[in-house]
Structure 1
């Protein structure tokens, strides 16, 4: 399952403050500016647009990865907890010192390559190949 970076349309997690100085990709101001265009007049708490308000019961296994420098870190943790409480198998991997969407830079740093390899391993295990 993949999420848009705007899935916490309220931008109210504590890491929006604590990581504001290191996350150059996602800020509270950016989310507040872009969320209304994504929502099209709907509420930022609409479960169809914001999985933090959805019922994840019945989802297949989830692998959630993020960097600990992300403003979305708390939101990812909250969704992981929600999914686990709903009976969903969840693996959460938080990479030390990594920014938002750090895997996009695979091939440049070992941490990024390791995350891609870890994702591949997880998928192979789930797909039994």
Structure 2
């Protein structure tokens, strides 16, 4: 049973008509124009007070680094924010990043990557790959976690696939939060979930993928990583809710992981909507504890008997 806080967030999202902004291609572009006028959220005052925050451009991309002022664990996180590839980072992302630094003593690297439709996946990866190379040169790759929410989750998986295919060192693990894995919107089970999801709509998601692809097929693995091979990738931890239109694609990904031998911890939270783990509620606290455990895990993933579910979640492990 979802918490009262979850129900209140769901009500708030419906009252502000959040889902309507993704209801069609036209509605999405109207929202893009509105959000461009607002601009992105900068690191919050709370984050600046608690942690050491710096910014340095890498390959033309502004890259923020958030470090603990003490108790540095040596862990590194490359965090890729969500927003359908078309929207800027928001304050909830910065709050979540601060929690990661607090809980893990980790250094979190946050690229402010270029957005569609003004830019495409080609420009995004032209900036991400030099940054990734810089991170793996400066630290043991096993200490690096690549993490992302929504579109950033899909981008995290695609980045690992590109790293593997180009002979780069792989990160120690991937953590995917409500990841956008298939920009085609072709899974028929999505239509069943449409009325339940208070945030996302299929047509807006398809348009996000189309403009991010920039004329390339949306089935390109760099845009829809579910169409790329999962073999040889590092262990993955994935979180999704049962009231998220992206659930069918995450379930399809779970089946592919089993077929292709990808080690996967899969957490499916009953009644949760898109990227709930970034909002204050008991369910997000439960998921956050599992996220921390995933980052702290050794290179070798847990055996099936050791995998655990959190509050309102079912967990599964796909062995190698």
TM-score normalised by L of structure 2: 0.37
Alignment of 1:90-129 (within 5 A): 90-105=264-279, 108-126=280-298
Match of 2:257 in 1: 83
Conserved? CA contact 1:51–1:79, under 8 Å: no
Conserved? CA contact 2:181–2:250, under 8 Å: no
Q: Map Cα deviations across residues 2-45 of structure 1 (whole Å, 9 max, x no partner).
A: 42454311112234211101212221110122221100001111
Aligned counterpart in structure 2 of residue 14 of structure 1, from 188, 193, 197 = 188
Higher relative contact order (CA 8 A, sep 6+): 1
Shift of the 104–81 alpha-carbon distance from structure 1 to 2, 3 Å rule, reads same
- Aligned residue for 1:92, secondary structure, equals strand
CA distance in 2, matches of 1:93, 1:46: 26
Q: Map Cα deviations across residues 35-70 of structure 1 (whole Å, 9 max, x no partner).
A: 211000011111222112100101100001011100
- Aligned residue for 1:126, secondary structure, equals coil
TM-score normalised by L of structure 1: 0.87
More strand, by proportion: 2
- Aligned residue for 2:298, secondary structure, equals helix
Conserved? CA contact 2:180–2:246, under 8 Å: no
Structure with the greater alpha carbon radius of gyration: 2
CA distance in 1, matches of 2:227, 2:262: 15
